[in-house]
Amino acid sequence: MKEKTQNIPLNTVALDIKRTLAKDGFLLSRTNPFFNWIRGEQVAFCHPEELGLSFYIANPPAPTIAPYDYATVFLSLENPEMGDIYFRLTFYFHTALEPCMEMDEIEAVYNKHDSVWFRNLSGYLADIEDSFKLSWDTDYDESIEDNLTGWIPIEKAENIHSIMKELKSQDEQWSRQEDQANGKKG
């Protein structure tokens, strides 16, 4: 991507990001794929040209280092006065809460999330968090949502690709380690 993206219309920058992601095998959607998953529906994937300035990546590479149900990336260039690209990698924990009926059961899941699952995720993604100046935010509702978010300067739009490339590299490395560990056991 060009260094002087400030002079390029946002639509062009967005299309460049979407095309690069699609070329790298990422599935793009207008709507949040997690909600399709909850409803048991197929995700409607789109070609880069069919998407607007905000869209989702439905298949970000992330190992099952914690028992999340679904992960997505949301990207938005819809806030031109900010001059930045909003990035949010979200891990959704839904099924862990489904069987909980009583408040103490819900609290137990929240505590397990806070003490184990979130620590695993945040530790695993610490390099990406630091390198790209992202930060964590957790929402507790029908699902637990761990969000790694940040604003990426429009002139550094190539950082989106760098983040996704780093996620893919870490996922491949984690998978190799898991395969080696499982090979040693068997």
Token pair for 57: 């990546």
Q: What digits encode the pLDDT tens for the residues 34-72?
A: 999 999 999 889 999 999 999 999 989 987 888 999 999
CA nearest neighbour of 144 among 61, 58, 67, 55:
67
In this model, does residue 3 exceed pLDDT 50? no
- Quote the CA–CA distance of 118 and 127 in Å, as a whole number: 15
Q: What digits encode the pLDDT tens for the residues 141-150?
A: 889 999 999 9
Only one residue has tokens 């999330």, namely 113
In this model, does residue 107 exceed pLDDT 80? yes
